[in-house]
Structure 1
Amino acid sequence: MLEDMRMFAAVVEQTSLNKAADRLNVSQPALSRRIARLEAELGVQLFRRIGKRLELTAAGQVTYEFALELRRFHGKYLQKLNEFKSTEAPVATIGASLTTLQTTLPELITAMTEKHPQLEIKAVTGKTHEIATLVKERKVDFGLVGSSVDDDPAITSLPLFEDHLMLVLPRTHFILERTQLELSDLNGLPMILFQPGTWYRTLTDELFRRYNLKPDVRMEIDSFEAIIRLLSACRAGTLLPKSYLREQLLKDNDLYLVRIRELEETKRTTSLIHGDPAWVAPSTRFLIQETVAYFARRPGSPKSLS
């Protein structure tokens, strides 16, 4: 029926069997037979003849609208099918948790677009469980989250790199006058923290509970950049993921990193998650492999990726 509908639509658009036959590269009698067969199959008359002109009946108009929808859906189907035949994806939609959006995604997008200039990358953000749902519903090609998703058999988690918290202070902070800082020095320390609800803040709160720490939390903000900019003005410290902290960033904001053993033990693995491999197009599979390989070359990647 798909071919019959294509021919029927051509007759409607050309308003002539002869013109449609020329466009379809078939004979006029053969095209007439196809239209007659379609009418018999549907049990309705599709055209009325007015002189030499063909005019659609009411049933013909409904059938033409269906033929247009069928043509549109067929085109989309072929487009999606082509994605399974090519390793060059025109568009990649990546889901990113709030923390990985700020620490990991910008660097990855830069690397991907440098290697694939024609690639268009879209990002969808949310909490880890929200990204996992988007992956399962195939609304994103894959996700980047600050944890693994091992409790859901519908999701595959691939470890990318290990991260941990680090204490960041303004270089002029009075506490740096001490020769060595310990975790207990966070008690009463003015701090700016990331807002609750992310793995990173959960890790921070777990640390405070485990060591019975009670810092003086002055602000809770959902932007690492804003936290960094406010530290000196507020004479406060913060705990940030190591993956976010760059030497130039610290230099530009006159900040100092403090090494504390307990903080280096707050390890968390950032992972790439994707859905059922049977539904992963070759183009997406190729980008996933490239992403895993990219992070495997960086310091701090899990040994399983080396």
Structure 2
Amino acid sequence: MELRQLQYFMEVAKREHVTEAALTLHVAQSAVSRQIANLEAELGVSLFIREGRNVRLTSVGKILLEHAEKAVGEIEKAKEKIAEYLDPERGMVRVGFASSLAANPLPTIISAFRARYPNIGFQLKQGAYKQLIEAVIKGEIDLAFLGPVPTQEKDVQSHIFFAENIVALLPAKHPLADQPAIRLSDLHRDTFVVFPPDFILRKIVMDACAQVGFAPHVAFEGEDIDAIKGLVAAGLGVTLLPEVTLTDNVPRDTVKVPISEPNVTRTVGIIIPKNRELPPSEKLFYDFLKEFFSVLNKFSQ
């Protein structure tokens, strides 16, 4: 079984038409047909059902396609990795990030990195907290920005860049909107707008409220930070959010109010796999991040 045979097979499966596959591959139709026939002969099964000028996969063909896509994908990754080792400054960085870090600081970091390494590309994967941790462990990505930074995951190595406050976001007409700071217990009669149960930011809110002796009344749930901000702006509840999500975007008809008691914070940083080395381009990015935040923290002290 040759790589070229698998590539031809995958293209025919995708197009369901030998001629169209040949045109896409820039080879003669006879070459595609011959490679498919050789592959079927080697496996001893039919991979396609011929229906006039079209073809469709047999049940065995579907099995092969599933594994062929994985195999060819891994080979392409290997080729990319080898290219990175030959020239790390022309590779690709695959990084995951939580939605709460999408607007700030991620774009600033990538912009600064690209100024130094303009030929390195990025593949960005937004995901939920646990999904990103699993993606790093499984090797789907090699780095992930998270907040809070997990410290008990045995298969990842964590690096904390900074800690930030969790603040209250209130409707502008809320009775406490003009206060310089509030105690979290002051909100015990309010309705809350929060993330769904499997989101880490919801756990932060629920734990903080439990710390001061109440369980918040959840009126609305939303997976998107902007949607949650919008619900607060509409006067439908209050919420707690990381301060970084409000740095440049406090919605109209809302106010950001610090929480004086208790001190609610989260760490922000990155995780990488513990049991495998970072590819060269990712290693450049990881080292850059540590340098970037080290300098930033010195200036902010």
TM-score (norm 2): 0.65
One-letter code aligned to 1:285: K
Match of 1:156 in 2: 157
**Residue 270 (1) aligns with residue 271 (2):** no
The whole-number CA distance in structure 2 between the counterparts of 1:218 and 1:184 is 18
Residue number in structure 2 paired with 1:284: 282
Classify 1:120/1:168 alpha carbon distance in 2 versus 1 (closer, same or farther; 3 Å).
Answer: same
- The answer to whether the Cα contact below 8 Å between 1:99 and 1:198 also exists between their aligned partners in 2 is no
Q: Give the aligned partner of residue 83 of structure 2.
A: 82
SS of match in other structure, 2:244: helix
Mark the CA change 1:177 to 1:160 in structure 2 (over 3 Å): closer, same or farther.
Answer: closer
Distance 2:198 2:74 in 1: 41
The alpha carbon displacement at 1:213 in A equals: 2.2
Alpha carbons of 1:180 and 1:270: their partners in 2 closer, same or farther (altered >3 Å)? closer
Q: One-letter code of the match for 2:257?
A: V
Shift in alpha-carbon separation, 1:180–1:287, aligned structure 2, 3 A: closer
Check 1:156–1:261 CA distance in 2 against 1; reply closer, same or farther (3 A cut).
Answer: same
Question: What corresponds to 2:231 in structure 1?
Answer: 230
SS at match of 1:122: strand
Matched AA of 1:259: P
Deviation, structure 1 residue 235: 5.0
- 2-side partners of 1:145 and 1:270: how far apart? 6
Alpha-carbon offset, residue 239 of structure 1: 0.6
Deviation per CA, 1:226-264, whole angstroms, max 9, x where unpaired? 122222322532111012111x422x524322222225x
Shift of the alpha carbon at 1:87? 3.0
Say if 1:79 and 1:99 are closer, same or farther in 2 by CA, change over 3 A.
closer
Q: State yes or no: 1:244 paired with 2:245.
A: yes
1:260 aligned residue? 259
Task: Report the residue type matching 1:255 in the other structure.
Answer: T
Q: Give yes or no for contact 1:161–1:296 (8 Å, CA) kept in 2.
A: no
Answer yes or no: is the 8 Å Cα contact 1:84–1:282 preserved in 2.
yes
Q: Offset of 1:288 from its aligned partner?
A: 0.7
Shift of 1:73: 9.3
Give the equivalent residue in structure 2 for 1:11: none
- Report if aligned partners of 1:228, 1:253 keep a CA contact under 8 Å in 2: no
Read off the aligned partner of 1:258 and give its amino acid letter.
V
The alpha-carbon distance between structure 1 residues 170 and 140, as it changes in their structure 2 partners (threshold 3 A), is same
TM-score using structure 1 length: 0.64
1:56-75 equivalences in 2 (<5 Å): none
What residue is the counterpart of 2:196 in the other structure? 195
Paired residues for 1:141-152 under 5 Å = 141-152=142-153
Once the 2 structures are TM-superposed, how far is the Cα of residue 212 of structure 1 from its aligned partner?
1.7
TM-aligned CA deviation for residue 148 of structure 1: 3.1
Task: Confirm or deny: 8 A CA contact 2:181 2:259 kept in the other structure.
Answer: no
C-alpha separation in 1, matches of 2:133 and 2:290: 18
2:148 counterpart SS class? coil
2:17 corresponds to which residue? Answer: none
1:209 aligns with 2:210: yes
Residues 84, 162 of structure 1: alpha-carbon distance in 2 compared, 3 angstrom cutoff: same
Q: 1:159 Cα deviation (Å)?
A: 0.9
- List gaps (5 residues or longer) in structure 2: 1-33, 43-67
In structure 1, the residue corresponding to 2:88 is in which secondary structure?
coil
Q: Deviations over 1:74-107 (max 9, x none)?
A: 8875542231233314321112234334654344
Deviation at 1:179, TM superposition (A): 7.9
**Partner Cα separation in structure 2 for residue 221 and residue 300 of structure 1:** 36
Aligned length: 239
Check whether the contact 1:93–1:141 (CA below 8 A) recurs between aligned residues: yes
Quote the Cα distance in structure 2 between the aligned partners of 1:213 and 1:277. Answer: 42
Shift of 1:277: 6.8
**Could you tell me which residue of structure 2 aligns to residue 218 of structure 1?**
219
Who is 1:296 aligned against? 294
Provide Cα deviations, 1:160-188, integer angstroms capped at 9, x if missing partner: 21123101123332333668633221111
Report the residue type matching 2:260 in the other structure.
R
Residues in 2 aligned to 1:129 and 1:177: alpha-carbon distance in whole angstroms: 37
Q: What whole-Å deviation, never above 9, does each CA across 1:186-245 have from its counterpart, x for those lacking one?
A: 111132222222222111111121212244432111111112222232253211101211
Hey, what's the Cα distance between the residues in 1 that align with 2:128 and 2:75? 36
RMSD over aligned Cα atoms: 3.8
Residue in structure 2 matched with residue 17 of structure 1 by the alignment: none
The residue aligned with 1:127 is: 128
